[in-house]
């Protein structure tokens, strides 16, 4: 029987309802969840992404402000803008739109965001909290993949999990989250020999690489949960373009028990996790003040 599809849109919608209930409650106490997104330079695509984000925030009662810095902003100027937001008590969350102009040091800017306000979980301090099993803000895409795995109800304790890809914002944090649930976790990388031999023993298989259809049916253990984080543009034989994941969905679906589609899986859930981190950060800040 083909795998059951994990509907990221539907699960994200439920998370957003819960977030909205929390912001309504906070507003009744006179407390505003206020996210500032920094956009340096910017393109029409970046502006469109930011306006979609503003809509998503508005829909759940988060006040969204876009701080636009001109494309010749220097590193010290960008740091000064971040520091100002760090010290502004009315700002409960901060995020930086990527990419930033080439002359700026993206990693340093992310490190300058106060970890307590870092709603994308990109400050290395937040990865550190995850390593110590005391997560504060979990990187949004990793949190999304993990929540979708949990939504299946499969028992993670003692499960074999394979994460393909080892980035700091997806692969590594997903592996840590699964390990904290007592799964036995392997991280596969480009240097891994016999990728299929590792993957097809996995009860939980997470693909976070960025290579269209890297994983096929031979990589999937019968009955596995397959989470596809990848977003790739693929040109079909007729010349049309299509967004696909790292997993060959049709082949994997024949063997898996649960599988995420691309689009409609991890993507919408990532947005929901950003909103969730934003509300959680605000609640923690309000609790510290009271
Ligand atoms: P990244 O480039 O930072 O990391 C990719 C990782 O894959 C690296 O660790 C690299 O060593 C590893 N890798 C490369 N080739 C490999 C191979 N052949 N076998 C095994 N591992 C290999 O990318 P990222 O930021 O982690 O993103 C991964 C994918 O997820 C991309 O397609 C990206 O667009 C997508 N993504 C989706 C969302 C979402 O919201 N759905 C969010 C972030 C990233």
What digits encode the pLDDT tens for the residues 151-207? 999 999 999 999 999 999 999 999 999 999 999 999 999 999 999 999 999 999 999
Please say if the pLDDT value at position 44 is more than 90: no
Residue 289's pLDDT band (cuts 50, 70, 90): confident
Q: Cβ–Cβ contacts within 10 Å for residue 179, how many? A: 16
Contact present, 116 and 59 (Cβ < 8 Å): no
Residue 169's alpha-carbon distances to 54, 101, 191, 233, 259, in angstroms, are: 22, 20, 20, 21, 21
Q: Which two tokens stand for residue 72?
A: 């010749």
Q: Would you give the end-to-end CA distance of the chain in angstroms? A: 54
pLDDT at position 46 is: 87
94 CA distance to ligand 1 middle (Å):
24
Among 8, 194, 210, say which to mutate for ligand 1: greatest number of ligand atoms within 8 Å of CB. 210
176 lines ligand 1 (CB under 6 A): no
188 lines ligand 1 (CB under 6 A): yes
pLDDT at position 248 is: 98
Please say if the pLDDT value at position 43 is more than 90: no
179 CA distance to ligand 1 middle (Å):
20
Report the distance separating Cα 38 and Cα 272, nearest Å: 19
158 CA distance to ligand 1 middle (Å):
26
Q: What's the chain's average pLDDT?
A: 97
Q: CA torsion, points 283, 284, 285, 286, in degrees to nearest 10?
A: 50
DSSP state of 3: P
| Helix (H/G/I), strand (E/B), else coil: 47 | helix
Percent of the chain with pLDDT over 70: 100
pLDDT, mean of residues 135-159: 98
| Cα 103 versus chain centre, distance | 26
What is the b/e burial string over 93-118, where b = at least 16 CB atoms within 10 angstroms of the residue's CB?
bbbbbeebeeebebeebbbbbbbbbb
Q: CA torsion, points 126, 281, 133, 142, in degrees to nearest 10?
A: -70
Sort 184 into a burial class: Cβ within 10 Å, 0-12 / 13-18 / 19+.
Answer: middle
Contact present, 158 and 288 (Cβ < 8 Å): no
Determine how β-strand 241-244 pairs with β-strand 232-235.
antiparallel
Residue 42's pLDDT band (cuts 50, 70, 90): confident
Among 138, 215, 231, 262, say which to mutate for ligand 1: greatest number of ligand atoms within 8 Å of CB. 231
Residue 31's pLDDT band (cuts 50, 70, 90): very high
260 lines ligand 1 (CB under 6 A): no
Please say if the pLDDT value at position 273 is more than 90: yes
pTM higher than 0.85: yes
Q: Which two tokens stand for residue 151?
A: 């939504």
What digits encode the pLDDT tens for the residues 60-119? 999 999 999 999 999 999 999 999 999 999 999 999 999 999 999 999 999 999 999 999
């Amino acid at each position: 029987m083909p795998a059951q599809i994990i509907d990221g849109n539907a699960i994200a919608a439920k998370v957003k309802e819960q977030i909205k209930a929390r912001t309504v409650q906070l507003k009744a106490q006179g407390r505003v969840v206020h996210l500032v997104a920094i956009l340096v330079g910017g393109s029409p695509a970046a502006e469109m992404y930011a306006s979609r984000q503003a809509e998503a925030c508005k829909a759940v009662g988060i006040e969204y402000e876009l701080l636009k810095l001109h494309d010749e902003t220097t590193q010290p100027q960008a740091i000064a803008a971040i520091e100002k937001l760090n010290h502004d008590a009315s700002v409960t969350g901060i995020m930086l739109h990527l990419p930033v102009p080439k002359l700026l040091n993206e990693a340093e800017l992310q490190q300058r965001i106060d970890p307590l306000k870092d709603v994308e979980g990109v400050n290395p301090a937040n990865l550190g909290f995850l390593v110590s099993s005391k997560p504060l803000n979990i990187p949004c895409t990793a949190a999304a993949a993990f929540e979708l795995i949990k939504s299946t109800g499969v028992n993670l304790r003692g499960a074999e999990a394979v994460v393909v890809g080892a980035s700091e914002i997806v692969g590594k944090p997903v592996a840590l989250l699964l390990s904290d649930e007592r799964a036995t976790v392997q991280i596969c990388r480009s240097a891994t020999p016999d990728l299929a031999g590792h993957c097809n023993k996995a009860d939980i298989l997470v693909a976070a690489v960025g290579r269209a259809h890297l994983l096929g049916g031979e990589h999937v253990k019968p009955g596995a949960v397959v989470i596809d984080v990848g977003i790739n543009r693929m040109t079909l034989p007729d010349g049309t373009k299509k967004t696909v994941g790292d997993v060959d969905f049709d082949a994997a679906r024949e063997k898996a028990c649960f599988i995420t589609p691309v689009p409609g899986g991890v993507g919408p859930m990532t947005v929901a996790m950003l909103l969730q981190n934003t509300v959680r950060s605000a609640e923690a800040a309000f609790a510290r003040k009271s």
